[in-house]
Structure 1
Amino acid sequence: MTPVEGSTLTTVAVVMVVYLGVLIFIGWRAARRTHGGEDFHLAGRSLGAWSAGISSTASSESGWVTLGAVGMTFTHGISGLWYAPGCLLGYLVNLYIVAPRLRAISATQGSVTLTDIITRRWGDPKNVLRVTATTIILICMMGYVAAQMTAAGKAFSSSLGLEGRSGYLLGVVIGAAVIILVTSLGGFRAVAWTDLFQGLLVAVALIVLPLYAIARLGGFGALIQGLGSISPHLLTAGGDRVGPVLWGFVIGQLGIGLGYPGMPHVITRYMATRNDREVQRLQVIAMLWGVVVFYGAGLVGLAGRVMMPNLVDGEQALMAIALELAHPVLAGLLLAAVISAILSTVSSQLLVAASAVSYDVVEETLGRARDDRRSLVLGRWTVAIVGVIGILVALSEVRLVFWFVLFAWSGLGAAFAPLILLALSKRGVN
């Protein structure tokens, strides 16, 4: 992607500073309402439909939706869209099966974490389940956080024209510092509020940009004609795949949604929702967000393939289109949307790690008496420590760090999705 230069760079930088300032302000406001452990871990179970619904979806997608999903359709054409129904199937399971039952059970039990739900459902007198679950969560979350910080560093540096290793390092530090500050100050409430702001920003960007790009191409007909002229395979549901390879690809994409019920940073939003009425409203809000974002990202990739067929990295198509077509202010907002998708996930993962240490380890496993002040301080320190570890890994620029996302998603999904679904089922299941 061509670096931003001159006055455009200045304008984009100003927009980004304002965006980061808004995040810090939200964190400060949330901190004034965070007074104890349950406030820090679950926002006092006070979230409304909009904050819980958008937060649950925005925190699950990370930079994958503005980078990876765009790259899928840029590279594979229409066949790259199979991820969308796969993810939406996962949303349906989470929103209409997991969410209402989980909120009711967690409120009745007083459960604070995903581990709490599991151990109280089946009993865990020797803390074997709790220690095992907490260990899995911490390992997966640290890898996840490092990968997201790496993505943030690349997004900041490439879009702002910060060249070389020094630009990348600066991008990592800026993004990480802001999100660690916001999360440690305001806890769950700050994360939910910033997720709402960032999730709406992402949705608006993925409505405006594809429509703008397609209009510049001359409409949907011109888009289809352009894709066909590049390769007929870009217009088929299977691409150039046939037989077992095609079925394996489709099943694999549809299977993405199987992991959603096992994501602690997603399902804790349902536990923090105010009441059943808000759960019913968030179901609609979250599904609409998913449809807009998944298919919007796909359209950006398709439009990018026609507009910029020589672009080396398809995952950069969103920003390349924005910088090519948009006013510098709009380009800055679109960059903010890319960063938002990344930082909303990082903040949620940092919070899950903090809850695992301060609540699951210190209070439940070690048997320390519950102390709101200690829980709050320990949670904040855990956010800072895990965040610093993520920064150190990201600064090393180890390419394999992006595999951590795949392994973390698979690990969390395989470990917890079946357990959560069983924990919410009939009592006869053991």
Structure 2
Amino acid sequence: MTELSGTISVVIVVYVILMLAIGYVTSRRTKSPSQFFLADRSLKAWVTAVSSTASSESAWAVLGTVGMAYEGGLSAVWFLPGCLMGYAINWLFLAERLRKHSHETGAITIPDYLEAHFKDRTHWLRIISVVIIFSCMMAYVGSQFTGIGKTFDAIFGVPHYWSIPVGGAIIILYTMMGGFLAVAWTDFIQGLIMVFGLVLLSLTALVSLGGFGGMIEQVNQAHPETLAWMGGKTTAAFLGSLVGLMGIGLGYPGQPHVLNRYMAAKDSRTIQQGIWIAMGWGLLIYSSAILLGLCGNALFPQLADKEHLFPKAAVSLLPTVVSAVVLTGVLAAIMSTVSAQIIVAASAVAHDIYSKMVRRDLSHRRFLWVSRLSVLLLGVGAMAIALAKTQVIFWFVLFAWSGLGASFGPVILFTLYSRKVTREGAIAGMLTGFVVTVVWKVTGLSDSVIYELVPAFLLASLAVWGVSQWTGEREGMPAPVIEDAE
């Protein structure tokens, strides 16, 4: 393990140097608000597709899904169509229309887009959006920093009070330097590392068991219950669980750190090509994670912590250097999400509040200074949250994905497909989505009835439609982008 730790140290140093180099190079191209928060709408297909998918998954794809398949067996397969459905909704029904509409209105952020679409001079749409984004993103980032601490502790035995500041400082530094362009390119590289590690490790595990036949035979001997497609549940319980798993896909259209990748796409061709890249990435990531989890039942039948399967398999099955690269994938998964969420939280402070509501006359140079300061302060704040282990903050993490998905997903889709949505309808939808998510989660209905995102998304959609019908179409409201992509 000492040899492995040393090798991982070298790999991580090389990896960090690469991330900082990207930050430095991209900083030379970042001179304006649009460049800092949207890369001047210049992303091409591969970077748009891989960075958007990688930033949406975090360490859950590498550790959580593998652990879920280890515990649930074949029933974890039903998780795959839910995630791919989310990718499909975003890329087929949202990406191109949002790209076009945000470009036409000059919107840099999601609050920007909503305010411009509804011509909201009261700023209530912007304020409500910022509050939801900021609260969810800060909780998310704090939890991801905790993940960095646990990763370094597990591999090197480094206490979290050292590893969190070091890991956080690296992410903050390259995000401050290059802004969104640095985040997009580092996420692209991190996404490739993630898919490489999962595909290689799952296939290596399968081969070590003698292929699919050998795997099924050995899993049946160790944990036969994991080969049940319904996970040993009754039909009614399984159907409820299936709806919840499919409902995970409803969260994707409402994630600001994913949506801004589509807004930054260069042109229609980028979106058309990106569809296939993103769907392929998702299929590889999740099918490999589920396969590794199933193989783990035969390879490590008595594993105490299911989320330790990925690192344990890497150490046991791969050569030292390859294992070090694969384990770096865990860190890459966390960093890709953290940097994406920090840039969104910073845009909420620097652009949506300070630049749009406090100081409208900011020069580009002053704006970049404020933006970089926002990244620094928010990053340090998130590290403080992680170090303090504040339970109130981490309580938000339980429903941050659902809260964002239910608050913004229905509103964004309605604005892109309906001319009859009003400002009041959008506000009602956002508030309904967020409140229902919180209430459903804290009352335990997520565990006893169904995953909170499903009812929250449906009720938010109903609120958008119902209140819009009641308040009536607003004169002068811009028509949605409903023409076909060029």
Q: TM-score, normalised by structure 1?
A: 0.95
Please tell me whether residue 126 in structure 1 is matched to residue 118 in structure 2. Answer: no
Determine if contact 1:47/1:272 at 8 Å carries over to the other structure: yes
Gaps of 5+ in 2: 423-486
**Superposition deviation, residue 370 in structure 1:** 4.5
Report SS of the residue matched to 1:424: helix
**Superposition deviation, residue 231 in structure 1:** 3.0
**Structure number with higher relative contact order (C-alpha < 8 Å, ≥ 6 residues apart):** 1
* Matching of residues 27-426 of structure 1 within 5 Å: 27-162=23-158, 167-366=159-358, 368-397=360-389, 403-426=395-418
Paired with 1:249 and 1:322, the residues of 2 have a C-alpha distance of 31
Paired with 1:8 and 1:62, the residues of 2 have a C-alpha distance of 24
Determine if contact 1:72/1:81 at 8 Å carries over to the other structure: no
Tell me which amino acid in the other structure corresponds to 1:250. L
Paired with 1:301 and 1:383, the residues of 2 have a C-alpha distance of 37
Determine if contact 1:58/1:341 at 8 Å carries over to the other structure: yes
Moved over 6 A (4+): none
Tell me which amino acid in the other structure corresponds to 2:91. L
Paired with 2:53 and 2:268, the residues of 1 have a C-alpha distance of 18
Alpha-carbon spacing, 1:400–1:295, altered in 2? closer, same or farther (3 Å): farther
Match of 1:15 in 2: 11
Paired with 2:4 and 2:391, the residues of 1 have a C-alpha distance of 30
**Superposition deviation, residue 401 in structure 1:** 6.2
Paired with 2:7 and 2:63, the residues of 1 have a C-alpha distance of 23
Deviates more, 1:401-410 or 1:307-316: 401-410
Tell me which amino acid in the other structure corresponds to 1:16. I
Determine if contact 2:8/2:328 at 8 Å carries over to the other structure: no
Determine if contact 1:88/1:257 at 8 Å carries over to the other structure: yes
Paired with 2:136 and 2:129, the residues of 1 have a C-alpha distance of 11
Alpha-carbon spacing, 1:102–1:370, altered in 2? closer, same or farther (3 Å): farther
Tell me which amino acid in the other structure corresponds to 1:339. L
Paired with 1:138 and 1:332, the residues of 2 have a C-alpha distance of 35
Paired with 1:330 and 1:424, the residues of 2 have a C-alpha distance of 45
Paired with 1:22 and 1:404, the residues of 2 have a C-alpha distance of 33
Paired with 1:47 and 1:280, the residues of 2 have a C-alpha distance of 13
Deviations 1:318-365 (A, max 9, x none): 110011121221111111111111110000000001111111101222
**Superposition deviation, residue 402 in structure 1:** 5.6
Paired with 1:402 and 1:72, the residues of 2 have a C-alpha distance of 21
Deviations 1:168-212 (A, max 9, x none): 222222221111111111000000000111101111111111001
Determine if contact 2:223/2:297 at 8 Å carries over to the other structure: no
Paired with 1:107 and 1:275, the residues of 2 have a C-alpha distance of 10
**Superposition deviation, residue 367 in structure 1:** 5.2
Deviates more, 1:298-307 or 1:315-324: 298-307
Paired with 1:280 and 1:403, the residues of 2 have a C-alpha distance of 38
Report SS of the residue matched to 2:411: helix
Alpha-carbon spacing, 1:403–1:76, altered in 2? closer, same or farther (3 Å): farther
Bigger Rg over Cα: 2
Deviates more, 1:297-306 or 1:337-346: 297-306
Deviates more, 1:74-83 or 1:105-114: 74-83
Paired with 1:173 and 1:70, the residues of 2 have a C-alpha distance of 28
**Superposition deviation, residue 405 in structure 1:** 3.1
Gaps of 5+ in 1: none
Determine if contact 1:9/1:161 at 8 Å carries over to the other structure: no
Paired with 2:59 and 2:186, the residues of 1 have a C-alpha distance of 16
Report SS of the residue matched to 2:229: coil
Paired with 1:120 and 1:63, the residues of 2 have a C-alpha distance of 35
Determine if contact 2:223/2:301 at 8 Å carries over to the other structure: no
Determine if contact 1:12/1:160 at 8 Å carries over to the other structure: no
Paired with 1:402 and 1:107, the residues of 2 have a C-alpha distance of 35
Deviations 1:348-388 (A, max 9, x none): 00000111111110122235124211221111111111111
Deviations 1:104-156 (A, max 9, x none): 10111111101111112222111111111111111110000001111111112
Percent of pairs identical after alignment?
Answer: 43
Deviations 1:81-120 (A, max 9, x none): 2221101100000001110100010111111101111112
Report the RMSD for the aligned CA atoms in angstroms: 1.4
Determine if contact 1:147/1:404 at 8 Å carries over to the other structure: no
Deviates more, 1:373-382 or 1:39-48: 373-382
Paired with 1:311 and 1:279, the residues of 2 have a C-alpha distance of 42
**Superposition deviation, residue 399 in structure 1:** 6.8
Paired with 1:425 and 1:247, the residues of 2 have a C-alpha distance of 30
Report SS of the residue matched to 2:265: coil
Paired with 2:73 and 2:366, the residues of 1 have a C-alpha distance of 52
Alpha-carbon spacing, 1:158–1:402, altered in 2? closer, same or farther (3 Å): farther
Tell me which amino acid in the other structure corresponds to 2:350. S
